[in-house]
A and B are shown apart, each in its own frame.
Chain A
Amino acid sequence: MKLNTKISTQVYGCLLLLPAACLLVLFTHYPVLETLKSSFFTTPRGLREAAFVGLENYSMLLEDDVFWQVLCNNAIFSLGTIPVSVALALIMALWVNGKLPAKSWVRAAYFTPTILPMIAVANIWLFFYTPQIGLVDKIVTALGGASHNWLGDPATVLPCLIIMTIWKEAGFFMIFYLAALQAIPPELQEAARVEGAGRWYFFRRVTLPLLMPTTLFVFINATINSFKLVDHLFIMTKGGPDNASSLLLYYIYEVAFSFWDTAYASTLTIVLLALLAVLAITQFVFIERKVHYQ
């Protein structure tokens, strides 16, 4: 009788899990394995079936200048967006957590870009960067500068996208800092005041160390995010000029759906997944450690 209920409970638990398991296998685990498999084969074309080529796609990748350029772009994009947006996020969080007049308006202003779709953001910012009629050029020429094709110049296109991305992302990271700040017991602040500690001292010696786990979490999330963010490229640059603004995920999309080379796209996807896996595992290890500390 008792054994019977135990088994029926187990069966019940498995049944509850079944729908989610089927979907996860179909759209996550199976595609990952299939992607890995495809990366060792040629792209099937017409009647010609995929042929096993071993690591040929990977050696092609090592010699593909565009791949290296895109990877380099992605590194610049990450290095350009992450430190600034995380630093801004912390400053924003400190401000809206303090005694700032019109605080809810300020917080709304910081957070609003997060709510907007990247496509809408790109539509608006594309106009800012348009030569001659765009707002940036209007300001530059009014100050005596020369008109410039901001998104058409390989030297300025990435910085332009980086600035826009910082604007889009900082408010989102602010939320994590805000949550962490609100978890800091107010007694600490009072104790510090009694001891006569200054605000800057308190921030450096108490707040900042307490925010370290959040900072790590935000940093790694931001890095993972910077490898996923490509929507704006569809509107603003299409990865151009000369691949100067293309990022890894966008390149995968192009290889797969413009050149229809699914085998090579799979190879690139494996590289992206490996990168993200390393980042996610790093995150996991650090968060584990954070749990141990408490």
Chain B
Amino acid sequence: MQKGFWHYLEWTAAWLLAALWAAPLLYAIWGAIHPGEFTTHFDLTAPLTLENFREAWNTAPFARYFLNTFMYVSMTLVAQFIICTLAAFAFARFEFPGKNIAFMLVLVQMMIMPEQLIVKNYEIMSSLNLVDTIPAMGLPYIASAFGIFLLRQTFKQIPLELEEAARVEGASWLGVLLKVYVPLARPTYLAYGLVSVSHHWNNFLWPIVITNSVTTRPLTVGLAIFGAPESGVDFPVIAAGTLIAVAPLLVSFLLFQRQFVQSFMRAGIK
């Protein structure tokens, strides 16, 4: 009986914390779907409106920002998959002089991310004439040490017999990679893909340094300009704009919650 009481108390605490954690987002939704005068006035009979969304959409070029973010995120992901797969394959299944040193040099990028090197990376981009282009936003992240590391671990766990069987059938190295390793590493690709997409979708510091025009600016940078107090837009419109910007990732998270959480778990167990 007593045990039951403590359980209920604990559950209540867990739910309260969950409510507290959900509150800011729910509050933004409340603010976005009601007229301005109800922003801090919680009246369940308040009229619903989509006016804030319309105004936000018209105040900032969200369609353009979406396109920029989409191009930046997808280009980065595809390039990461290709570059990291090749490097991980080399580290997992090939012997060559200096391999261990090379691997250590890759791991350096795990602690030094491009964000910390904004000054020099900006200079490099400007000498390559890439400032204010979409590829520039993703380029420093493509040879991702984390991706190489994760895929190398996965490739190493794949039994050698499978590779030998494929080689007996006359498959080339590239054929082995594409027919044996890549298909078997699918869960890792999914996990890495989700982590990469959510990281780059939310990335801000490097994009704000490297972009300066509407045609390249991603959602986060656009949202920062839109939401800055100087822009003079009021809260319901900012809330609506913010929700527009986070919607794709948020909706996919709610739909594929399990995969998201598991991919972050997998990413955590390095």
Contact = CB atoms under 8 A, between A and B. Distances in A.
Specify whether A and B are partners.
yes
Interface of A: 9-14, 16-17, 19-24, 26-32, 34-35, 38, 88, 91-92, 95-96, 100-102, 104-128, 133, 135, 138, 167, 170-172, 175-176, 178-179, 224, 228, 230-231, 234-235, 249, 252-253, 256-257, 262, 265-266, 269, 272-273, 276-277, 279-280
Nearest to B226: A123
B198 A17 contact: no
Contacts of A253: 118, 205, 209
B116 A117 contact: no
Closest 5 CB pairs of A and B: A13-B94, A31-B120, A117-B202, A23-B143, A20-B87
Contacts of B46: none
Nearest to B108: A28
Q: Find the residue from A13, A126, A167 having the highest chain B CB count within 10 A.
A: A13
Nearest to A116: B246
Given A102-B15, A117-B220, A269-B117, A178 B95 contact: no
B87 A280 contact: no
B110 interface: yes
Contacts of B160: none
A135 B119 CA distance: 38
Interface of B: 10-11, 14-15, 17-19, 21-22, 24-25, 27-28, 31, 39-40, 82-84, 86-87, 89-91, 93-97, 99, 102, 105-106, 108-124, 139-140, 142-143, 145, 148, 173, 198, 201-202, 204-205, 208-209, 219-220, 223-224, 227-229, 235, 238-239, 241-242, 245-246, 249-250, 253-254, 257, 260-261, 264-265, 268-269
Nearest to B109: A28
B268 A175 contact: yes
Contacts of A26: 124
Give chain A's interface secondary structure class. helix
A20 B86 contact: yes
B112 to A, nearest CB: 6
B115 A249 contact: yes
A122 B229 CA distance: 11
A20 B148 contact: yes
Given A31-B117, A119-B224, A112 B208 contact: no
A214 B105 CA distance: 25
B262 to A, nearest CB: 9
Contacts of A38: 119-120
28 contacts: A9-B96, A17-B102, A24-B105, A24-B106, A27-B114, A27-B117, A27-B140, A30-B124, A31-B121, A100-B11, A112-B25, A112-B250, A115-B260, A116-B202, A116-B250, A117-B201, A117-B204, A117-B220, A118-B204, A119-B202, A123-B242, A124-B242, A127-B239, A128-B24, A172-B264, A179-B268, A252-B119, A253-B118
B202 A110 contact: no
A167 B21 contact: yes
A130 to B, nearest CB: 8
Contacts of B24: 113, 121, 124-125, 128, 167
Nearest to A279: B111
B116 A272 contact: yes
A28 B117 contact: yes
A171 B264 CA distance: 11
Contacts of A16: 86-87, 89-90, 94
B269 to A, nearest CB: 6
Nearest to A139: B40
A30 B120 CA distance: 9
Nearest to A101: B11
Contacts of A30: 120, 124
Given A117-B246, A276-B116, 5 more contacts: A111-B253, A115-B260, A252-B118, A266-B119, A280-B111
B246 to A, nearest CB: 5
